[in-house]
Homo-oligomer: A and B are copies of this chain.
């Protein structure tokens, strides 16, 4: 991340709108104002450009063709080229080359459209989280039901159907959202616009939290798969997990499209093997090749578990909410509509439909086979593994392919978060609820800051929880169901407000969805509360507060810096005899330059010499000053406590300059060539500048003298 694009005062192109309109919206076709009276900026004399002579470089490069760094594109309008990004010093160049090597060369903003995703790649990127649920959702249902004994496992299939219906409702709702909010934002946009600021922030915070947890959970699940196969790596699981996150971050920093290419293969391999297992399994069942086992007859092959609890509504609800983790990840596409090729909304909606169909089929199919095969959740083997073994008829190549692709998709679920989090964060940043850095796209047009923040937090979580899946899972899935509920409710409100064609049906569907997802959220929170879910219920409100505070700060800054409409530019008083103070230590080249600058700017210059060693004799200094600067008055300030800054500040305060007259402080500075040389000087100027920044109506002028190496210094003239 060099030069992450600037945002605040001197760089933001436009005040970010508090509501609605996005920066990317095309300009309204209004006539541009007449630039008649305007003085043109000085034309760049393109043809011979001297690159800034930076000390520390061994030579100064003179580029004869200025087109290489800046090209003229109109009257007073220029464009920088990639050449402008080239660092001057050898070390920086090496660093840049390294970065380009890892992350790829920068892409121009104009190439953003080429970085958009086709439906095939988008399905791979955005669906891995949702599809990976098919690897464990069936098991979650059966585990909950097992409390009522193996006999009750038959109930799994109807529950799976119910969840599939809920999936259909949620996806239908999000398809509407995608069309209604083509700029993306999903839950956050729907809730903020239809339910208000606070529900919007809750939805945003809930999803951000869930994305972080998705990464942590998926990666630690993937590491668990690796350490199950290679137990000698178990001591390195934290390192493996963090390494996985770094790798995934790096791939995503290379840009959305490239990440799509990388991650498409394993996703489609998973679809092929998992689908293959379902087809083979069902066919063999129908053919009678496998003997079905119904739990009520207690097939001898599979072990039986005693009931510890009676079958009842609560148990069904619990099984339902456990299984509905299958829905996590389906909202990702709604956040990322703008990542699709045009027509964005249609492509996104189509991809979402495909995802829902595949997920639904996989989930019901796997549950069906598990129930018909009489598979019982075991400690040492997953349900899908058991189903796969039975379907493929043993531990053959198909079975291992299934295991491998399943492990892979579990890790790739994290990649959905690597897309969802930065996109959502960028939308929150554009609405000024998150730092602006989140809204800027890096070298490769990816939201680099969001990717890095997500990777860092997830890695920290993994270290804190020692990459232990079991301690992370209870934190997971609450956020996404809170978001679903808010999203559905928002769509209900929207339908009733806009009353577009077919709104009644849509409202009913969304209302059912809101109730079902809301109930699931409550059940999940309730059943997992003691196991850590309370953490999430504390984090989300804190995050909402944080988002709100950030927004309030940005609004405050805007208010403070705003100009009265049509106000004229204020003139500062007394430009010719404005008070100027120059701190001077010894009489040297840097001081001479600073004093010269000061005296050209004003006729009211005072040099201030702070004496930090009380015993020191200043008469020699005074005499030299007299000789060099006979017309610049010198004040001498003794500092009995040997400090510099506090006496300096006290002196300028004691000057009693009126509030509306700015005080100018001219700092003579010299700039060392090598980093270690910085430690040899006290950086007095740096610290003084920092103190003066906080003083009202104080202008600081830095007159620098570079300390090139002797031979370089000669070259620059």
Known: A563-B589, A584-B10, A591-B9. A638 touches B668 (CB 8 A): no
A230 on interface, CB distance cutoff 8 Å: no
Given A50-B653, A80-B637, 4 more pairs with CB closer than 8 A: A52-B649, A79-B639, A569-B596, A700-B702
The answer to whether A342 has its CB under 8 Å from any CB of chain B is no
Contact call B671/A9, Cβ cutoff below 8 A: no
Of A3, A567, A698, most B-chain CB atoms within 10 Å: A3
Expressed in whole angstroms, the Cα–Cα distance for A50 and B654 within the complex equals: 7
The quantity of this chain's copies bound in the complex is 2
In contact, A79 and B32 (Cβ under 8 angstroms): no
Question: Contacts A641-B109, A642-B5, A649-B84 hold; do A39 and B622 have CB atoms under 8 A apart?
Answer: no
- In the complex, whether A118 has a CB less than 8 A from a CB of chain B is no
Q: State whether A585 touches B638 (Cβ < 8 A).
A: no
Residues of B within 8 A of A585 (CB): 6, 8-13
**Which of B7, B84, B635 contacts A650 (CB under 8 A)?**
B84
Stretch at the interface among A151-159, A274-282, A676-684: A676-684
Q: How far is the CA of A570 from the CA of B597 in the complex (A)?
A: 10
Among A139-147, A231-239, A322-330, A704-712, the one that faces the other chain is A704-712
Whether the pair A636, B76 counts as a contact (CB closer than 8 A) is yes
Q: Do the beta carbons of A44 and B570 come within 8 Å of each other? A: no
With an 8 A cutoff between CB atoms, is A343 at the interface? no
List the 6 closest A-B pairs by CB distance, nearest first: A80-B647, A6-B684, A27-B617, A561-B588, A84-B650, A8-B681
Chain B residue contacts of A656, Cβ below 8 A: 44-45, 48-50
Among B26, B73, B612, B710, contact of A440 (Cβ-Cβ < 8 Å): B612
10 contacts between A and B (CB under 8 A): A5-B682, A6-B585, A13-B586, A13-B609, A24-B613, A26-B617, A42-B579, A45-B654, A562-B588, A699-B703
Write out the residue numbers on chain B whose beta carbons fall within 8 Å of the beta carbon of A261: none
- Bound Cα distance A38, B30 (Å): 63
Residue in B closest to A42 when the chains form the complex, CB atoms: B606
Q: Which residues of B contact A441 (CB under 8 A)?
A: 642
Instruction: Please determine whether B630 and A37 come into contact, CB atoms closer than 8 angstroms.
Output: yes
For residue A393, give the distance in angstroms from its CB to the closest CB of chain B: 56
Q: How far is the CA of A66 from the CA of B650 in the complex (A)?
A: 9
* Identity of the chain B residue whose Cβ is nearest the Cβ of A600 in the assembled complex: B575
| A178–B654 alpha-carbon span in the complex (Å) | 46
Alpha-carbon gap, A86 to B6, bound state (A): 36
Instruction: Specify which chain B residues have a CB less than 8 angstroms from the CB of A612 in the assembled complex.
Output: 5-6, 11, 13, 440
Known: A32-B622, A682-B6. A641 touches B13 (CB 8 A): no
Residue of B nearest to A611 (CB): B13
Cβ-closest chain B residue relative to A442 = B642
Question: Which of A182-190, A248-256, A685-693 sits within the interface?
Answer: A685-693
Cβ-based interface call for A266 (8 A): no
Does residue A701 face the partner (Cβ distance < 8 Å to B)?
yes
8 Å CB contact of A85 from B23, B643, B703: B643
Whole-angstrom distance between the Cβ of A450 and the nearest chain B Cβ: 15
Q: Which residues of B contact A566 (CB under 8 A)?
A: 627
A64 to chain B, nearest CB (A): 12
Q: Is A601 at the interface (CB under 8 A from chain B)?
A: yes
B685 & A9 in contact (Cβ 8 Å cutoff): yes
Which chain A residues (561-582) contact chain B, with CB distance < 8 Å?
Answer: 561-563, 566-572, 575, 579
Q: Which of B24, B35, B618, B677 contacts A622 (CB 8 A)?
A: B35
Q: Is the CB of B41 within 8 A of A642?
A: no
Q: Which residues of B contact A8 (CB under 8 A)?
A: 585, 670, 681-685
Stretch in A304-312, A471-479, A550-558 with 4+ CB within 8 Å of B = A550-558
Contact A619 B669 (CB under 8 A): no
What's the minimum C-beta distance from A641 to chain B, rounded to whole angstroms? 5
Q: Measured between C-beta atoms, what is the minimum distance from A13 to chain B in Å?
A: 5
Is B554 a contact partner of A680 (Cβ separation < 8 A)? Answer: yes
Specify which chain B residues have a CB less than 8 angstroms from the CB of A655 in the assembled complex.
42, 44-45
| A268 within 8 Å of B (CB atoms) | no
The answer to whether A70 and B680 touch (CB under 8 A), given A9-B590, A640-B110, is: no
| Residue A659 is within 8 A (CB to CB) of chain B in the complex | yes
Contact status of A561 and B670, CB under 8 A, knowing A3-B646, A77-B638, A633-B39: yes
Decide if A370 is an interface residue (CB 8 Å cutoff). no
A623 sits at the interface (CB 8 A): yes
Task: Say whether A299 faces chain B, with CB atoms less than 8 Å apart.
Answer: no
Query: A108 near B: Cβ within 8 Å?
Result: yes
| Option from B85, B569, B646 in Cβ contact (under 8 Å) with A628 | B569
- A587 close to B (CB within 8 Å): yes
Encoded as 1 (CB less than 8 Å from any B CB) or 0, chain A from 70 to 82 comes to: 1001001111111
Decide yes or no whether A616 CB sits under 8 A from chain B.
yes
Q: Cβ of B570 and Cβ of A40 under 8 Å apart?
A: no
Measured in the bound complex, the distance between the Cα atoms of B655 and A66 in whole Å is: 10
A680 pairs with B435, CB closer than 8 A: yes
Contact assessment for B634 and A41 in the assembled complex, using a CB-CB cutoff below 8 Å: yes
Residue in A35, A78, A435 whose Cβ sees the most chain B Cβ within 10 Å: A78
Evaluate contact between A616 and B13: CB separation under 8 angstroms: yes
Asked, given contacts A9-B668, A621-B14, whether A588 binds B563 with beta carbons under 8 Å apart, the answer is yes
Q: How far is the CA of A681 from the CA of B434 in the complex (A)?
A: 11
Q: Indicate if the CB atoms of A79 and B640 lie closer than 8 Å.
A: yes
Q: Which of A53-61, A313-321, A515-523 contacts B (4 or more CB under 8 A)?
A: A53-61
Q: Chain B residue with minimal CB distance to A579?
A: B42
Among A76, A652, A662, the most chain B Cβ lie within 10 Å of the Cβ of A76
| CB pair B48 A7 closer than 8 Å | no
Give every chain B residue within 8 A of A108 (Cβ-Cβ): 614, 640-641
